[in-house]
Amino acid sequence: MTRVLNDNIKHDLQQAQAQFQQHFIFGLNNIYRNLDLETAIGTLHTLEQAGQNQSPEALSSIEMYAHQHRSFEDCAPHLFTFILDCFSKGLVTDLSQQTQQLLCLRALQGRSLSSIVKLLKMDGKKQVERLMKQGISDLLNVVLNQP
């Protein structure tokens, strides 16, 4: 009887976690846009892997952004999915804390450059863009060189 009850509770908790994860991801750039960085990044690190690989077109778009051939706005949907996937797979752990924060704020929460400059105490918008592109380039290298 106890085993059946434990199995039912475990199943219910897994279902609740999956529902929360979907809600969190969906609301990241609107409902949870102003969520503090520690909570947002902590939650991102606990997401289960989606198991989806980026399409070659999406990776090409992301690469063009990282190498300054496309604007952030042109690539934002691809960047959102890519960064989210990198957090869920633990690939961002090799990046500095500031870069992780920046990727979360800009690509996932959709915060403005000026608010990021203030929040992370950076020198200006150019530093934000440069660090963001470098972080994405580093993640692309990891993703593209995986077996």
DSSP string, the chain: -HHHHHHHHHHHHHHHHHHHHHHHHHHTTTTTTT--HHHHHHHHHHPPP--PPPPHHHHHHHHHHHTTSS-HHHHHHHHHHHHHHHHHTTGGGGS-HHHHHHHIIIIIS---HHHHHHHHT-S-HHHHHHHHHHHHHHHHHHHHT--
For residue 15, give its domain range: 2-144
Give the whole-angstrom CA distance, residue 6 versus residue 51.
Answer: 28
pLDDT in the model for residue 36? 77
Residue 8 has what pLDDT? Answer: 65
Would you state the pLDDT for residue 47?
73
pTM of the model: 0.76
pLDDT for the residue 32:
60
Instruction: State the pLDDT at residue 95.
Output: 95
What is the pLDDT tens value at each position of the chain, 147 positions in all? 666 656 666 655 556 555 655 655 666 666 666 777 787 777 777 777 655 677 888 899 999 999 988 899 999 889 988 988 888 888 999 999 999 999 999 988 888 999 999 999 999 999 999 999 999 999 999 988 876
Using an 8 Å Cβ cutoff, are 136 and 61 in contact? no
* Whole-number pLDDT of residue 13: 58
What's the total number of domains in the chain?
1
CA terminus-to-terminus distance, the chain: 45
